[in-house]
Amino acid sequence: MRAFLPRTGAHLLYNLALGSALVLAAPAWGPWVLASRKRRKNFFDRLGMRMDRVPPPSGKERIWIHAVSVGETLSAAPLVRLLRRRLPETEILFSTVTLTGRETADKVLGEETDARFYFPFDLPSISRKFIDRLRPDVVVILETEIWPNFLAECAGRKIPAVLLNGRVSERSLGGYARLRFLFSRALCCFTAIAAQTEEDARRFLSIGAPPGSVAVTGNMKFDVALPAQDLSPLYSLLMKEKERGTAWFVAGSTHEGEEEAVLRAFAKARGRNGSIKLVLAPRHPERFAAVGELCVRAGWETVRKTGVDPGRGDPLPPVVLLDTVGELLSAYAAADLAFVGGSLVPKGGHNILEPALFGVPTLVGPHMENFREISEIFRDAQAIAQVADGAGLASLAESWARDPSVVAGTGRRARELLAAFRGATGRNAGIVERELSRRRRERE
User: Catalytic residue numbers?
Assistant: 72
Distance separating alpha carbons of residues 138 and 146, to the nearest angstrom? 16
> How wide is the angle at C-alpha 134 spanned by C-alphas 130 and 135, nearest 5°?
110
| Gyration radius of the chain's alpha carbons | 23
Give the number of residues written for the chain: 444
Question: In this structure, how many other beta carbons lie within 10 angstroms of the beta carbon of residue 1?
Answer: 16
Q: Phi/psi zone of residue 143: left (φ > 0), alpha (ψ -120 to 50 degrees), beta?
A: left
Distance separating alpha carbons of residues 14 and 173, to the nearest angstrom? 18
Sheet holding 214-216, edge to edge: 115-118, 91-96, 62-66, 138-142, 161-166, 192-195, 214-216
Three-state DSSP state, 43: helix
Give Cα 113 distance to the centre of its chain: 17
Distance separating alpha carbons of residues 263 and 267, to the nearest angstrom? 6
Quick check: 326 and 77 in contact, CB under 8 A?
no
Quick check: 77 and 225 in contact, CB under 8 A?
yes
Question: In this structure, how many other beta carbons lie within 10 angstroms of the beta carbon of residue 263?
Answer: 23
The DSSP output letter for 50 is -
One-letter identity of residue 415: R
> How wide is the angle at C-alpha 237 spanned by C-alphas 72 and 248, nearest 5°?
75
Q: Is 193 exposed, middle or buried (0-12, 13-18, 19+ CB in 10 A)?
A: buried
Question: In this structure, how many other beta carbons lie within 10 angstroms of the beta carbon of residue 312?
Answer: 11
